[in-house]
């Protein structure tokens, strides 16, 4: 396993109290595979990715993050920074805010190479131009001398990808990389990431709120809600046999292009939870239609409200690198029983 995260929690101290933004998350990513992490704002998906990169300065990070078997939590900043960019790299939603406006795009890509490989200016510059060409920037030698504001949104994201991959990392974390882009440009960038992944055997973590993007690129999926894991599965199992009412609800509530039915969308009631007041039981319980169903007895319903469901496997058989798991009292009552 390239990346193995277990029991990860991230806490921030704010004026209004301690916020547990990520609460006991675990997942794995293998080389050459893409893990999609899906969630809404406040689900903890971005906080998780920043924790993996060791980019939380003021937060308390607990749990284990292993890259190729090496423990990253607790590692001194100096050692982390030799891994960051070299072994693992990250791209963000807004490339303009991640690129320095005063340096040319070529200089910024070359800098990574010079820092990690102690290469000469000319070698690093050639490397930067090669990378820009590889990610599909036309006339890379000329564009390398331009500044970020001279690039279009799609080209900037390509430049970010070139920068992230300049030192040939093994793991790429992409945090909503196409959310700010137009849909035709999004298609180009997703294809680019898939091609680079195939060429280099990259492990990719694709963080997104868009289930369409997940269906297109992910092999495995982790669904997060309120800082916790709701469900994980292979991409096919998640879309055809989702076990968590939140996942089901999300899929049902999406308007779909290929959906001939014009009946009202089955919306999920309410809004995502506040992390300042975490639920005692299941974080999704206040919005859960399955919990409110008549067949659910008062006893079980109370358990939804008061006991936090464990994140348990749904079957013995495991598919892909992640087995199908869900944190729900209703869909996995027997499994929950066994855990107790």
> Which residues sit at the interface with another protein, rule CB under 8 A?
40-41, 152-155, 182-188, 190-191, 209-216, 218, 235-236, 239-240, 246, 249-251, 253-258, 262, 264-269, 271-272, 287
Contacts of 76 (CB under 8 A, 6+ apart): none
- Rounded CA separation 160/311 (Å): 35
Token pair listed for 35:
């893990």
Q: At closest approach, how far in Å is the CB of 258 from another protein? A: 6
Contacts of 151 (CB under 8 A, 6+ apart): 105, 143, 159
- Rounded CA separation 223/121 (Å): 43
- Pick 89 or 223: Cβ nearer another protein: 223
Q: At closest approach, how far in Å is the CB of 137 from another protein? A: 11
- Rounded CA separation 108/104 (Å): 6
Angle 21-326-312 from CA coordinates, rounded to 5°: 100
Q: At closest approach, how far in Å is the CB of 167 from another protein? A: 27
- Pick 13 or 253: Cβ nearer another protein: 253
Provide φ and ψ at 80, rounded to 5°: -60, -40
SS3 157: helix
Q: At closest approach, how far in Å is the CB of 6 from another protein? A: 27
Q: At closest approach, how far in Å is the CB of 108 from another protein? A: 21
* Residue among 94, 11, 33 at smallest CA distance from 220: 33
- Pick 187 or 293: Cβ nearer another protein: 187
- Pick 240 or 318: Cβ nearer another protein: 240
- Pick 217 or 312: Cβ nearer another protein: 217
Q: At closest approach, how far in Å is the CB of 26 from another protein? A: 23
- Pick 258 or 316: Cβ nearer another protein: 258
Contact 328, 282 (CB under 8 A): yes
Q: What is the three-state SS of 37-61?
A: EECCCCCCHHHHHHHHCCCCCCCEE
Contacts of 298 (CB under 8 A, 6+ apart): none
Q: At closest approach, how far in Å is the CB of 318 from another protein? A: 18
Mutual orientation of helices 183-200 and 153-165 as an angle, nearest 10°? Answer: 20
Token pair listed for 80:
């982390």
- Pick 268 or 335: Cβ nearer another protein: 268
Q: At closest approach, how far in Å is the CB of 286 from another protein? A: 12
- Pick 35 or 65: Cβ nearer another protein: 35
Q: At closest approach, how far in Å is the CB of 34 from another protein? A: 12
- Pick 74 or 270: Cβ nearer another protein: 270
Token pair listed for 336:
């929950």
- Residue spans of beta strands (DSSP E) within 46-137: 60-67, 70-71, 88-91
Contact 47, 10 (CB under 8 A): yes
């Amino acid at each position: 396993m390239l990346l193995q995260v277990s029991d990860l929690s991230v806490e921030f101290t704010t004026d209004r109290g301690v916020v547990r933004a990520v609460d006991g998350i675990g997942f794995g990513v293998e080389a050459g595979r893409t893990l999609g992490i899906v969630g809404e704002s406040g689900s903890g998906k971005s906080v998780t990715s920043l924790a993996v990169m060791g980019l939380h300065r003021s937060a308390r990070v607990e749990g284990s993050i292993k890259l190729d078997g090496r423990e990253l939590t607790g590692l001194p900043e100096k050692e982390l920074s030799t891994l960051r960019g070299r072994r693992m790299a990250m791209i963000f939603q807004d490339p303009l805010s991640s690129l320095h406006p005063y340096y040319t795009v070529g200089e910024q890509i070359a800098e990574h190479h010079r820092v990690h490989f102690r290469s000469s200016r000319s070698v690093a510059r050639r490397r930067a131009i090669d990378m820009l060409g590889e990610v599909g920037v036309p006339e890379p030698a000329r564009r390398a001398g331009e500044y970020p504001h001279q690039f279009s949104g799609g080209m900037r994201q390509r430049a970010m990808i070139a920068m992230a991959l300049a030192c040939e990392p093994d793991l790429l974390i992409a945090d909503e990389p196409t959310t700010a882009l137009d849909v035709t440009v999004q298609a180009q960038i997703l294809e680019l990431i898939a091609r680079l992944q195939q060429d280099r055997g990259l492990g990719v973590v694709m963080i997104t709120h868009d289930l369409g993007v997940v269906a297109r690129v992910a092999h495995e999926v982790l669904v997060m809600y309120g800082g916790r894991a709701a469900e994980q599965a292979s991409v096919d199992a998640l879309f055809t046999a989702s076990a968590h009412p939140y996942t089901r609800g999300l899929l049902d509530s999406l308007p779909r292009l290929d959906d001939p039915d014009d009946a009202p969308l089955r919306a999920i009631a309410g809004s995502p939870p506040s992390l300042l007041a975490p639920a005692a039981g299941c974080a999704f319980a206040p919005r859960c239609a399955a919990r409110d169903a008549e067949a659910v007895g008062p006893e079980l319903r109370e358990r939804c409200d008061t006991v936090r469901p464990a994140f348990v496997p749904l079957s013995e058989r495991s598919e892909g690198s992640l087995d199908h798991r869900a944190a729900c009292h209703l869909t996995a009552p027997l499994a929950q029983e066994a855990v107790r």
